[in-house]
A and B are shown apart, each in its own frame.
Chain A
Amino acid sequence: MRPFLYDRAASTESAPRAFDGLKEASLIQGRAPAEYLAGGTTLLDLMKLDVMQPARVVDITPLEPQHGSIAISDAGLRLGALVKMSTAADHPAVIKTYPVLAQSLTLAASAQLRNMATLGGNLLQRTRCNYFRDTSWSACNKRNPGSGCAALDGLNRQHAILGASQDCIATYPGDFAQALMALDATLDIAGPSGSRTIPIATLHKPPGSTPHIETTLAPGELITALSIPAGPWTRRSLYLKIRDRQSYEFALASAAIALHLDGDTVKDVRIALGGVASVPWRARDAEASLIGKPLNEATATAAARMAFVGSAPRTHNAYKVTLGQKTVVRALLQAATLEG
């Protein structure tokens, strides 16, 4: 790993200053002048691999007292960005009222990683594309813009079939963001030019022709809290994750479902997909197709088909089109059997 300056953040307001004075430096992600460090489960790995080479690392764990708590009210759930994955996953009220959130966290990573990783950092974890994570592969537009994409004609069993581009087919690897997408969460963001709140759906950017720009966060901006509004769909929610082994693996396909039923009729439904897309993916057309209808094999299958319209499989990931649809059907039908 390359030598770097290490700072401990004194306050949320002062932390972004670490990014000052380095503005002339390249803003390409992966060569950023500074990076925030929380659990370190992505950053340290990628620094050791020489994929990320920040000149400065700002440790934000001292801000845990301000951003490390969980608050639940009639209006919804508020999670500090420095809450550990395991803390949120084990929280009784989260498990009871927002099962999709708890499940997406419990099914991710390993116990050791969940005890280290924070919720804010989890949203920003970077792709597992092997061509990105190993610098000896020369072609990777995400790591080295303009160099090409070795995955297009390389090994792409893990890669995205939705939201990818000719420049990058890397999959967004996380689980939790899909659950937040399904629940229309918002993010509080602090930064050099003040604070703002954005919908989670606007955090991640599809690769397009600039796969090295992964989020809409400006340099120095910091996620401080995640807010999940209450709603009649949160209790009847689940996260279904399909993978080759039973635990400790990224999703081949996953679905976050939140469902509001009126009798047998779908009043509201949210479907977010993981393992198949370049960013956390909301299947809005599929959702719309179910509103006002009963949820059964036929309607779920039609919705699942709609969710994968426009998918663009490559040599090794065509199975994800079928698997993704079946995952959606199974998740929808399973959600319908839950208590509301």
Chain B
Amino acid sequence: MVDAAAPAPKANMGDPVPRYDARAKVTGSALYASDVALPDVAYAFLLSSAIAKGRIKSFDLREARALPGVLDILTHENIGEAIRKVKFFTEGGPASNSILPLGSAEIAYGGQTIAVVLANTYEVARDAAHRVKVDYEVDRPTATFESPGAVDQELATQNKKHDDPKVGDFAAAYATAPVKIDVAYSTPAQHHNPIELFATQCGWNGSQLTVHEPSQNVYGLKNGLATQLGIEPSQVRVVSPFIGGAFGSKGALTQRTALVAIAARKLGRPVKLVPTREQGFTVATYRAETKHRIKLGATRDGKLQALSHDGFEVTSRPDPYAVAGTDASTRMYACPNITSNVTIVRADRSTPGFMRAPAETPYFFALESAMDELAVALAMDPVELRRLNDTMKEPIKSLPYTSRTLMPCFDQASEAFGWSKRNPQPGSMRDGDWLIGWGCATSAYPTQMAPATARVSLFPDGTARVEAASHEIGNGIYTVAGQTAAERLGVPVGKVQVLMGDTDLPPAPVSGGSISTASVCSAVAQACDAIRAKLGDNGTGAVPTVDLVATLKERGLGSVQEYAEWMPHGAAKGGMQMLYKGAAQPIGGAKLPDRIQFAFGAQFVEVRVHARTREIRVPRIVGAFASGRIMNTRTAHSQYMGGMIWGIGSALHEKTEIDANAARYVNTNLADYLVPVNADVVDVQVIMVPEEDTLVNPLGIKGIGEIGIVGTSAAIANAIYHATGQRLRDLPLRIDSLVEAA
């Protein structure tokens, strides 16, 4: 029987080995942060600000404190500046924002933590939190774009590392282009909403602190927290063996961890915090809303002559967070004249942060919608428009792509989808009361890596052990790291133990930017190769040329252990030291001086729009992706498919609604913040296109965790245009605007 979830490997692909942690997760023996039972634990409940701007005049804590079981209440009045400042994430620090936890009476955003109630039970802590009375002095807050008080700033003036990509003379080329479009798009605020909430448990043993918290960066959490608490990093251990969904939300140090650590120290007993789903909307970060203006100019036969992409992104007052997707969107197609600009817009909001394909998700919705609009203006097939402008060199600096398999992705997906049967006329394909539309778009994601380490041990009983403090966020890193060691040491994969998610292990970089597999497996392979060399194997191939276990026994050794420090191409000189501090920066994509490295894909979507009531459904989606070496076709299939389903949600469902007057989030629960349910996900087909890239890293691995979401929303918008003749340029694509015009 063919198992669609475990496709047969093609060229340069590894076996669909079942997940290393599958049995533990299915049987419930995998312990997540909030599952860990600490003795005599006390419970914390957060109180969140009901206003977005202003200050706390006073608290009335009497009723809350009087409740039996309440132990203490932390506020700015008793914390103040007890927690030391750490740098904001994009300034090289570990913090998700630069506001001191309970640092002062000032309120900078709605939902800001303003008190922590500590009690003997969760129920009492929560009840007491409801009884805290807060007297606020309220200032009028700025909610979003164009709200009174919004401040626009060019990103380049706020972030010295940002440089707007430009080449040629856009204005002149656009003015004379025979075919052109000038269009604006927008994308909404979105929240990751991982099923596992933002739990934290802290316990002290003397001066040693152990933190149980789901994290995409345990070394960053350890070092950042030590700085905040004024203790040595060696006094902090972070344990995070399993993460129940993260998508970027668990990468940075949030305000909660230091508060729970201080509470535990104060009470002299462990403290457990599980914020509610509603609080998750402001405890962690989010994808900020964006706006775009794109101008494209082309010759009559479809050659791009001019491209301009202006992006606008909301951020908080204190932190200049931006995703600046123009780095990628200006480099996708051959074009001699390009200009771009990114503007950040400051509002009274929490600081945004990374969310799956942070830059590409919004910026490719704009770019790939615009490409479709240009194809319509040219009366040209949208696939052929991309083929005509395909390039093996990025246009800004003429740097070569290490590999680029875009058009084979389009061709294979198009074939599987049946694109040749498409009638290009909008509204021409109909099934009874349902209008059918077909659309497509390009997917792309930068291939990045960061310094990584691993310790690998081989034992005479034929077992091996891999140790690296990477993070199992559903990406299958346990499995592929184990596979790498099994292959290179010549032992069965079932004989490899893999330990991760613990700062007692060798450091691994943040699990973000789709870097984990390429970075960690490279370090594992390097350690394995050192073991091979020690045991007399001088081969350089993937599999050893001598029986390593037999040699080990022959020599009478108890074990052979090697520790590897692996550095990617282009990494800064101090990168390895930064890794040990939890601050190694991913490098790659369009940020290299000598080359550009990306993974590519193509997505084809069928939508059905009801002719009368206009609800939108996606019965069918086909994605083809080429991302270098595929380590495991099962886990890769899951990543691609998960990304595409995210794309459906991002296109049609997900939107964090913001109250324009209060500058607060409104739909902060999973009944009102919509994500696709099973009934919305019908037929999802993933095609893995073989690709060999010998440059990106010795194993030839590109990241695949995020590319699946890129372009999906544009493909869906393009399909809706084909179904209805209506062009929707604002996400989510909703019935509201379709039904009015129908």
Residues of A within 8 A of B (CB): 1-3, 48, 50, 128, 130-131, 133-138, 150, 153-155, 157-158, 242-250, 252-253, 318-319, 322-323, 326-327, 329-330
What per-residue 1/0 map shows which CB atoms of B711-742 lie under 8 Å from chain A? Answer: 00000000000000000000010111101101
* Residue contact B735 to A244, C-beta cutoff 8 Å: yes
Given A1-B127, A130-B666, A155-B657: A247 and B612 interface contact (C-beta under 8 Å): no
* Residue contact A135 to B130, C-beta cutoff 8 Å: yes
The chain A residue sitting closest to B675, CB to CB, is A245
Say whether B493 faces chain A, with CB atoms less than 8 Å apart: no
A246 to B619, CA, bound (A): 11
* Residue contact B612 to A154, C-beta cutoff 8 Å: no
What per-residue 1/0 map shows which CB atoms of B665-677 lie under 8 Å from chain A? Answer: 0111101101011
A1: contacting residue among B126, B666, B671, B734, CB under 8 A: B126
* Residue contact B653 to A153, C-beta cutoff 8 Å: no
Say whether B659 faces chain A, with CB atoms less than 8 Å apart: yes
* Residue contact A326 to B615, C-beta cutoff 8 Å: no
A-B contact list, 17 entries, CB within 8 Å: A1-B126, A2-B130, A135-B130, A137-B662, A154-B662, A155-B657, A155-B658, A155-B659, A244-B615, A244-B674, A245-B652, A245-B680, A246-B677, A249-B674, A323-B736, A327-B613, A329-B612
* Residue contact A326 to B127, C-beta cutoff 8 Å: no
Chain B 634-671 interface residues, beta-carbon cutoff 8 Å to A: 652-653, 657-662, 666-669, 671
Residues of chain A lying within 8 A (CB to CB) of residue B463: none
* Residue contact B660 to A154, C-beta cutoff 8 Å: yes
Say whether B411 faces chain A, with CB atoms less than 8 Å apart: no
* Residue contact A326 to B130, C-beta cutoff 8 Å: no
A128 to B48, CA, bound (A): 21
Residues of chain B lying within 8 A (CB to CB) of residue A3: 127
Residues of chain A lying within 8 A (CB to CB) of residue B660: 154-155
Given A242-B613, A244-B652: A134 and B668 interface contact (C-beta under 8 Å): yes
Say whether B278 faces chain A, with CB atoms less than 8 Å apart: yes
A318 to B126, CA, bound (A): 38
B677: contacting residue among A1, A248, A319, CB under 8 A: A248
Residues of chain B lying within 8 A (CB to CB) of residue A330: 610, 612-613
Say whether B71 faces chain A, with CB atoms less than 8 Å apart: no
A249 to B675, CA, bound (A): 10
The chain B residue sitting closest to A333, CB to CB, is B612
Residues of chain B lying within 8 A (CB to CB) of residue A244: 615, 652-653, 674, 732, 734-735
A248 to B130, CA, bound (A): 29
Say whether B166 faces chain A, with CB atoms less than 8 Å apart: no
The chain B residue sitting closest to A245, CB to CB, is B680
* Residue contact B659 to A326, C-beta cutoff 8 Å: no
Residues of chain B lying within 8 A (CB to CB) of residue A253: 613
Residues of chain A lying within 8 A (CB to CB) of residue B614: 323, 326
Given A244-B652, A245-B653, A319-B740: A154 and B661 interface contact (C-beta under 8 Å): yes
Say whether B123 faces chain A, with CB atoms less than 8 Å apart: yes
Given A136-B50, A319-B740, A322-B739: A246 and B617 interface contact (C-beta under 8 Å): yes
Residues of B within 8 A of A (CB): 48, 50, 123, 126-127, 130, 278, 610, 612-615, 617, 652-653, 657-662, 666-669, 671-672, 674, 676-680, 732, 734-737, 739-740, 742
Given A245-B680, A322-B739, A323-B739: A154 and B126 interface contact (C-beta under 8 Å): no
* Residue contact B735 to A323, C-beta cutoff 8 Å: yes
* Residue contact A155 to B613, C-beta cutoff 8 Å: no
* Residue contact B668 to A319, C-beta cutoff 8 Å: no
Residues of chain B lying within 8 A (CB to CB) of residue A138: 50
A244 to B677, CA, bound (A): 11
A134 to B281, CA, bound (A): 14
* Residue contact A157 to B653, C-beta cutoff 8 Å: no
A221–chain B nearest beta-carbon distance, Å = 28
Residues of chain B lying within 8 A (CB to CB) of residue A130: 666-668, 672
Interface of A is mostly: loop
A319 to B738, CA, bound (A): 9
* Residue contact A128 to B50, C-beta cutoff 8 Å: no
B659–chain A nearest beta-carbon distance, Å = 5
The chain B residue sitting closest to A329, CB to CB, is B612
B661: contacting residue among A153, A246, A323, CB under 8 A: A153
A253–chain B nearest beta-carbon distance, Å = 8
Residues of chain A lying within 8 A (CB to CB) of residue B732: 244
A16–chain B nearest beta-carbon distance, Å = 28
A154 to B143, CA, bound (A): 12
Residues of chain B lying within 8 A (CB to CB) of residue A50: 130
Among B617, B674, B737: residue with most chain A CB under 10 A = B674
A318 to B739, CA, bound (A): 11
* Residue contact A154 to B677, C-beta cutoff 8 Å: no
Residues of chain B lying within 8 A (CB to CB) of residue A133: 669
A159 to B678, CA, bound (A): 26
Residues of chain B lying within 8 A (CB to CB) of residue A128: 671-672
B63–chain A nearest beta-carbon distance, Å = 11
The chain B residue sitting closest to A321, CB to CB, is B740
Given A154-B666, A247-B677, A323-B613: A242 and B50 interface contact (C-beta under 8 Å): no
Given A153-B661, A155-B659: A245 and B736 interface contact (C-beta under 8 Å): no
Residues of chain A lying within 8 A (CB to CB) of residue B674: 244-245, 249
A42 to B98, CA, bound (A): 39
The chain A residue sitting closest to B676, CB to CB, is A245
B612: contacting residue among A131, A248, A326, CB under 8 A: A326
Residues of chain B lying within 8 A (CB to CB) of residue A153: 661
Given A244-B652, A319-B735, A323-B735: A154 and B617 interface contact (C-beta under 8 Å): no
A134 to B612, CA, bound (A): 35
Given A138-B50, A245-B652: A319 and B661 interface contact (C-beta under 8 Å): no
A319: contacting residue among B278, B610, B658, B736, CB under 8 A: B736
A127 to B518, CA, bound (A): 49
* Residue contact B615 to A2, C-beta cutoff 8 Å: no
B17–chain A nearest beta-carbon distance, Å = 34
Among B613, B658, B662: residue with most chain A CB under 10 A = B613
A107 to B324, CA, bound (A): 42
Given contacts A319-B737, A322-B742, A330-B613, 4 further A-B contacts (CB under 8 A): A154-B666, A155-B659, A157-B657, A253-B613
* Residue contact B615 to A242, C-beta cutoff 8 Å: yes
* Residue contact B123 to A1, C-beta cutoff 8 Å: yes
A30–chain B nearest beta-carbon distance, Å = 14
A157 to B130, CA, bound (A): 28
A134 to B111, CA, bound (A): 12
A1 to B659, CA, bound (A): 27
A112–chain B nearest beta-carbon distance, Å = 12
* Residue contact A157 to B736, C-beta cutoff 8 Å: yes
A250 to B740, CA, bound (A): 20
A173–chain B nearest beta-carbon distance, Å = 10
Residues of chain A lying within 8 A (CB to CB) of residue B736: 157, 319, 323
